Amino acid sequence: MSDAVLDVPATHDAIDGVPAPSANPVLFGHAGIRSFLAQAYQSGHMHHALLLEGPQGVGKATLAFHMTGHMLRYPAEREAPLELAEPDYGIAPYRQIASGTHLAVLHISRPVDAKTGKFKTAITVDEVRRVTHFLNRTSHDGSWRIVIVDPADDMNRNAANALLKTLEEPPHRTLFILISHSSGRLLPTIRSRCQSIRFEPLDKKDLLAALLAINLDAQQMADVDSLVAHAEGSVRKAALLLAFGGLEISGTVDAILGKSTFDVPKAHALATALSGRDAEIQYDLFLEDLLARIAGKARLGAEQGDVVLANRWSGLWSDMQNEARDAAAFNLDRKQTVLIFLGRMHRALSGAR
């Protein structure tokens, strides 16, 4: 492993102090998936499109880039090791992959809006059209070409349809890696053309080790168990919780939802705090926390065999997720969104008491 200084392109989901997946030298957990992919490549029977699906922040994108580096480091499959090579950013393939300059790698993600200077809320068809240009201009010398779509959930309908056409007629020695945090948002026809690989949340040991690797020593926290529970096996979520007061936000939500009557002053105070100009991440943490609570209620209903209860909570989850997405797309007032969501959640819980 090298200590090379890397110039990594900015992405919409970057976190200060946390290595970008393209430049992350370590991956915790998922040993079975790593071995499976390395062996599939070495055997010469790699599927042309991989769908890496699972919760956000558990290592899907990092593994995608590790796999990319492995393939470009060992272009002759039969000579590749049976375990993924450790990234070495001191050598050309890994350094170029991290900086986004490798001619055989195309990383598709949300683009920057030229008018606002901010990242767009979706991957557009113009971004996906880059795939066609990429495949046309890269050399046909027999080397591998890799396209990473990160995350594929962010493609709008036109973008998804454009990608589907390429997946239906995959070029020779081209690997597509689609990363998905919510695969239900993908077109079924895209799913059917990919080999699905499911990532599970990290266990406590791997989660804490991953945080320590990015200089976040959660072991020293008095409420480490609370952090682990709220992070739900996601390094990304744990890092955000630590850096942006996510546990405090969740505690305030607990206090509001735990009362028999809706605490209007406390709800307004939280909504005001989450609607500030520099509170976008805190607002996102609030939404994730609330949606996770609803999903937990839906799972509990299903486990208890209560179909009506499960459907009620899953319907609320779907409605609120769609409304949150619309609020972001149309730049709706965040304070009002927080108040509406808290009120609906409180009413739903009151009806279940």
Q: Which amino acid is at 128?
A: V
Across the chain, mean pLDDT equals 93
Supply the DSSP symbol for 262. Answer: -
Q: Is the pLDDT of residue 141 over 70?
A: no
Contact 23, 93 (CB under 8 A): no
User: pLDDT tens-digit profile of 53-77?
Assistant: 999 999 999 999 999 999 999 999 9
Q: Is the pLDDT of residue 273 over 90?
A: yes
Contact 74, 82 (CB under 8 A): no
SS3 321: helix
Contact 272, 342 (CB under 8 A): no
Closest Cα to residue 28, out of 200, 246, 230, 217? 200
Q: What percent of the chain has pLDDT over 70?
A: 96
Q: What is the pLDDT of residue 3?
A: 55
Mean pLDDT of 244-251: 93
Q: Is the pLDDT of residue 95 over 70?
A: yes
Q: Is the pLDDT of residue 8 over 70?
A: yes
Q: What is the pLDDT of residue 140?
A: 56
**How far is Cα 53 from Cα 72, in angstroms, rounded to an integer?**
23
Could you give the count of Cα atoms lying within 13 Å of 134 in the half-sphere of its Cβ?
A: 25
User: Is pTM, for the whole model, over 0.75?
Assistant: yes
Instruction: List helix spans (H) across the chain.
Output: 31-43, 60-73, 92-99, 125-137, 157-168, 188-191, 204-213, 224-231, 235-244, 246-258, 264-274, 280-303, 307-329, 334-352
Q: What is the pLDDT of residue 38?
A: 98
Q: Which residues contact 18 (CB under 8 A, 6 or more apart)?
A: 214, 235, 236, 239
User: pLDDT tens-digit profile of 21-30?
Assistant: 999 999 999 9
Mean pLDDT of 308-319: 96
Q: Which residues contact 26 (CB under 8 A, 6 or more apart)?
A: 210, 213
Closest Cα to residue 209, out of 181, 233, 232, 240? 233
Asked if the peptide bond before residue 151 counts as cis, ω within 30 degrees of 0, the response is yes
Contact 280, 331 (CB under 8 A): no
User: pLDDT tens-digit profile of 142-192?
Assistant: 789 999 999 999 999 999 999 999 999 988 899 999 999 988 889 999 999
Longest Cα separation, the chain: 69
Strand order across the beta sheet in which 195-198 lies: 105-108, 145-149, 174-180, 49-53, 195-198
